[in-house]
Chain A
Amino acid sequence: MAKKSVGFFESQRIQGQIASWVLYIIAWSGALVFVVPLVWMITTSLKAPDQIFTVPPRWLPYTQLTLNYDTEIKASNSGKIKITKDTDGTKRIELGGYSHVIPAIAELKVKKNDIVAKGDIIATIPNSGKVAIVEKVDKSKTITITSDKGLLIKEYQISQDTKPVVKDGATVHMGDKIADVWPQWSNYGKAWAPKALDETFTKYLMNTLIITITGIIGVLLSSTFVAYGFARFKFPYRDQLFMIMIATMMIPAQVTMIPTFFLFKQLGWIDTFAPLIVPTFFGGGAFNIFLMRQFLMTVPVELDEAAKIDGCNYLQIFWIILVPLVKPAMATTAIFGFVYNWNDFMNPLIYLNSTSNYTLALGLQTFTTMYGTNYDLMMAASTIVLLPILMIFFFGQRFFIEGVATSGLKG
């Protein structure tokens, strides 16, 4: 009997272990999916333009460029050959609905009206050629491979981070290495000071830092101040006011947006940072007040009373006794405030007009409108914008988690 029950628990234990392993694998697979977009952003940001639009996608930028092209053109259908010629020497072969483009360099292996089967070789391209390197103003280069007669076989656009290992005039064969390709760090330089925009990311970064830092100061000062009022004083309608404050969290910003915009317009604050900064000094947001109040409630009242007996007034109690004690909660608020301000898009979009006042988020959005297909540069710009926030996250991780725990969301 006793033995039997041991066996039962044993089997349950093994079952539990298997389940745990399955969950572990699921957890890591999911994590992989979650991290892929960020990895993809970084690897794309280091690629040369010709490495971006590839099927299948390349995970990592490649390290060398080898001469590679099709040396044979094969029929994609069976049928009778029909040849037409374009003005630039390009020929076309029509074959049962398919149109093959035969470049001037290719040597035709079939004649008009020949009958071919699918997969037959209809033209060949020489497997070696002569190198010609042309350097452009921005230090990027074009490597062209031409035949003896000067007909183009293949052309490579290479960026300034790519170093050709073949010399001008040399002969190269199929499969030869023609250049060393380094990660395209220059993408970051190009993204940082985009030619198509008036401003560089230095300006956007400075603007964002000014707004973010003063905004955080405003939020910290005023939310702690107000939270102290709610946490430690009894006054008429306190609980009703507190409920109103909680309720304001439900109000969509769009309802107040237009009159607030008008108010700031009347004050002459449009296209300045004031609309983004000044409101933070008036309470600092319901959520932050709530968070600080929850935290203050955990500080024993005896501390206040002791200070009062020692002759401190309320401002002194607040500043000397409580503020140092609620520093961890302030760190949480500061970090959330940083993330909020850094990512905020709608408010800068509404209030800032001139590009010299743009924040990173606005600058990045403008960047995409100018460089919509240059994913290498767009990913470099995105990395520039995300890097500080990712750093803040790694160093301030515990405050994110603590913030959630202290806000008493457990119900």
Chain B
Amino acid sequence: MENAVKKNKVKMSKQDAIWGFIFISPWILGLIFFTGGPIIASLILAFCDWDLITPPKLVGLDNFIKMFSDTRFLNSLFNTFYYTIFSVPLGIVGSVMVALLMNQKWKTVRLLRTIYYLPSVTAGVASAIIWMWLLNPDFGLINYGLSLLGVKGPMWMADELWSKPAIVIMSLWGVGGNMIIYLAGLQGIPRQLYEAADIDGAGMFDKFRYVTLPMLTPVIFFNLIMSVVASFQVFTQVYVMTGGQGGPADSTLVMVLYIYQQAFKFHNMGYASAIAWILFIIIMIFTLLQFKVAGGWVHYEGELKK
């Protein structure tokens, strides 16, 4: 009798397994055709010369060797790092600060949250155009604001020194998207922790330093990884603001824009794949590095109980 039940269960779970596979099968097919397959294909292409028309020609490491002497590639590498190094930390500090403000108990706080969040849903071509206008050297609002402070504003997108900071500043307009995630994190911090801190006589800054910040580190960590991945892929803003050129003088030519140009303007599919793989490897290294260092600063509440 007991044996029969067990047998039935085993049978059921086998059937279950089949059903499980049936349900996830769309994703499995997608993984094969739109992710896994293409990744392998692009890895092979990275070692080929291919113009989409004639069959790919194996060229060994040529594409990768070429990169070292390709100043435009090196430029795009530098520009992408520049953008990431400034936009990610500034974006995280900015969104955490805004989240802290939005975690107050004010009557208007819902309206405030909406205002801060709004720009992040407008991301794309339209917001790039708005910023082209805001950053207009002669008639833009930004330089007008600076002139009120007695500062003569730079030429922004027309100056190779200032074009990258311009894109970074623009990216900060979108901190509202991450703000919402931090806000969820802040609201998940147990109240008892603050009460305990109160009893210990902790001030506002102590509470932030020893309660809020450590409790928020897992969210910051998640966000850091996603932000780095996203910032390495910056494309639309730059494409729209520079007409697809990455100018002036390649000063905003980022990696994805260069991959796009190589692939769809010059039809160097092999070279473009090689650069895409370099981008992928950089992102993987950064992500793994962050996981490595994470133990040192990311605090998981579970560890407290040890």
Contacts and interface: CB of A to CB of B under 8 A. Distances in A.
Interface residues of B, number: 96
Contacts of A31: 112, 115-116
Nearest to B136: A375
Contacts, number: 271
Interface stretch (B57-65, B84-92, B158-166, B177-185): B177-185
Contact of B219 (A249, A362, A411): A411
A265 B52 contact: yes
A339 B24 contact: no
A64 to B, nearest CB: 22
Given A281-B26, A404-B184, A390 B121 contact: yes
Contacts of A379: 129-130, 133
A304 to B, nearest CB: 11
A228 interface: yes
A38 B17 contact: no
B21 interface: yes
A251 B39 contact: yes
B47 interface: no
A220 interface: no
Given A27-B104, A230-B24, A57 B144 contact: yes
Interface in B1-53: 13, 16-24, 26-31, 33-35, 37-39, 41-42, 45, 52
B129 A225 contact: no
A52 interface: yes
Contact of A234 (B17, B23, B127): B17
B287 interface: yes
A222 B26 contact: yes
Interface in B206-231: 218-219, 221-222, 225, 229
Interface in B130-151: 130-134, 136, 138-141, 144
A17 to B, nearest CB: 12
A40 B233 contact: no
A349 B263 CA distance: 13
A19 B127 CA distance: 34
A409 B185 contact: yes
Given A34-B115, A343-B124, A40 B104 contact: no
Contacts of B248: none
Contact of A26 (B29, B101, B121): B101
A256 B40 CA distance: 9
A163 to B, nearest CB: 26
Contacts of A19: 204
Interface string B257-285: 00110011000010011001101100110
B276 A346 contact: no
B197 interface: no
B20 A235 contact: yes
Contact of A226 (B24, B173, B219, B287): B24
A253 interface: yes
A275 to B, nearest CB: 10
Which size bracket describes the interface of A in this complex? 35 or more
Interface stretch (A115-123, A143-151, A240-248): A240-248
A329 interface: no
Interface stretch (A83-91, A96-104, A393-401): A393-401
B119 interface: yes
Which secondary structure dominates where chain A touches chain B? helix
A225 B124 CA distance: 30
A256 B124 contact: no
B276 A255 contact: yes
A404 B113 CA distance: 14
A338 to B, nearest CB: 10
Contacts of A344: 124
A207 to B, nearest CB: 14
A274 interface: no
B83 interface: no
B184 A37 contact: no
A397 B52 CA distance: 45
Nearest to A369: B243
B33 A263 contact: yes
Contacts of A381: 129
Nearest to A409: B181
Interface in A385-411: 385-386, 389-390, 393-394, 397, 400-401, 404-405, 409-411
B20 A385 contact: no
B126 A364 contact: yes
B77 interface: no
Contacts of B28: 241
A259 interface: yes
B240 interface: yes
14 contacts: A24-B106, A27-B112, A229-B23, A241-B28, A254-B233, A258-B42, A258-B269, A281-B26, A282-B33, A343-B122, A345-B235, A409-B185, A410-B185, A411-B185
Given A226-B27, A260-B38, A283-B27, 6 more contacts: A41-B130, A252-B233, A258-B42, A262-B52, A378-B133, A409-B185
The 10 A-B pairs of least Cβ separation, nearest first, read: A229-B23, A233-B20, A411-B218, A282-B30, A343-B124, A283-B27, A259-B41, A235-B17, A256-B38, A235-B20
Interface of B: 13, 16-24, 26-31, 33-35, 37-39, 41-42, 45, 52, 98, 101-102, 104, 106, 108, 112, 114-119, 121-127, 129-134, 136, 138-141, 144, 173, 176, 180-181, 184-185, 188, 204, 218-219, 221-222, 225, 229, 232-233, 235-236, 239-240, 243, 256, 259-260, 263-264, 269, 272-273, 276-277, 279-280, 283-284, 287, 300-301
